[in-house]
Amino acid sequence: MSSTVAGLLQVGALVAVLAVVYVPLGNYMARVYSSSKHWRVETALYRLVRVDPAAEQRWTSYAAGVLGFSFASIVLLYLLQRLQPLLPFWFGRGATVDDVPTTDVPPAMAFNTAVSFATNTNWQSYVPEQVLGHTVQMAGLTVQNVVSAAVGIAVAVALVRGFARSATDRLGNFWVDLTRGVVRILLPFSFLAAILLVGAGAVMSLRSGVDVTGVDGAQHTLPLAPAASQEVIKELGTNGGGIFNANSAHPFENPNALSNLFEIFLILVIPVCLTRTFGVMVRNARQGVVLVAVMGVIWAAFLAVAWLFETNPNGPATLAAGAAMEGKEVRFGIPTSILFAVSTTGTSTGAVNSMHDSYTGGAGGIPLLNMLLGEVAPGGVGAGLYGILVLAIIAVFLAGLMVGRTPEYLGKKLGRVQVTAAAISILAMPTLVLLGTGLAIALPGELDAALNNDGAHGFSEVLYAYASASNNNGSAFAGLTVTSDFFQATLGVAMLFGRFIPILAVLALAGSLAQQRRLEVGAGTLPTDRAGFGVLVGGTVLLVAALTFFPALALGPIAEALS
What lies within 8 Å, CB to CB, of 252 at 6+ separation is: 202, 203, 224, 225, 227, 244
Exposed, middle or buried: residue 274 (CB in 10 Å: 0-12, 13-18, 19+)?
buried
Distances (CA, A) of 481 to 34, 112, 448: 46, 14, 10
For 179-188, what is the mean pLDDT? 98
For 152-180, what is the mean pLDDT? 97
How many residues belong to the chain? 563
- The span from the CA of 10 to the CA of 16, in Å, is 10
Sign of CA dihedral 326, 330, 335, 338: negative
- The span from the CA of 149 to the CA of 239, in Å, is 7
| pLDDT of 536 over the 80 cut | yes
- The span from the CA of 411 to the CA of 433, in Å, is 34
Helices (H), 83-185: 107-118, 128-131, 134-135, 143-164, 174-180
- The span from the CA of 558 to the CA of 361, in Å, is 7
40-54, 60-74, 195-209, 449-463 — which is least confidently predicted? 449-463
- What is the residue extent of each domain of the chain? 380-562
Residue 312 CB coordination number (10 Å): 13
Distances (CA, A) of 293 to 239, 289, 290, 529, 531: 24, 6, 5, 11, 9
Local structure of residue 517 (DSSP, 8 states): P
Exposed, middle or buried: residue 211 (CB in 10 Å: 0-12, 13-18, 19+)?
exposed
Residue 419 CB coordination number (10 Å): 18
The pLDDT score that the predictor gives to residue 392 is 96
Diameter of the chain by CA atoms? 80
| pLDDT of 317 over the 70 cut | no
| pLDDT of 446 over the 70 cut | yes
The pLDDT score that the predictor gives to residue 320 is 59
Q: Which residue has the higher pLDDT, 521 or 278?
A: 278
Sign of CA dihedral 346, 347, 348, 354: negative
Query: For residue 319, what pLDDT band results from cuts at 50, 70 and 90?
Result: low
For 495-504, what is the mean pLDDT? 97
Exposed, middle or buried: residue 152 (CB in 10 Å: 0-12, 13-18, 19+)?
buried
The pLDDT score that the predictor gives to residue 318 is 63
What lies within 8 Å, CB to CB, of 309 at 6+ separation is: 359, 360, 361, 362, 363, 366, 561
- At 90 the three-state DSSP class reads coil
Do the bridges between strand 209-213 and strand 219-223 make them parallel or antiparallel, or are there none, so unpaired?
Answer: antiparallel
| pLDDT of 66 over the 60 cut | yes
Instruction: Report pLDDT digits (tens) over 217-247.
Output: 888 888 999 999 999 999 999 999 889 999 9
Q: Which residue has the higher pLDDT, 291 or 355?
A: 291
Query: For residue 484, what pLDDT band results from cuts at 50, 70 and 90?
Result: confident
CA angle 152, 155, 157 (to 5 degrees): 110
Helices (H), 347-415: 361-372, 383-403
> Does an H or E element contain 412, and which?
strand 412-413
| pLDDT of 414 over the 80 cut | yes
The pLDDT score that the predictor gives to residue 481 is 84
| Separation of CA 184 from chain center | 21
The pLDDT score that the predictor gives to residue 524 is 72
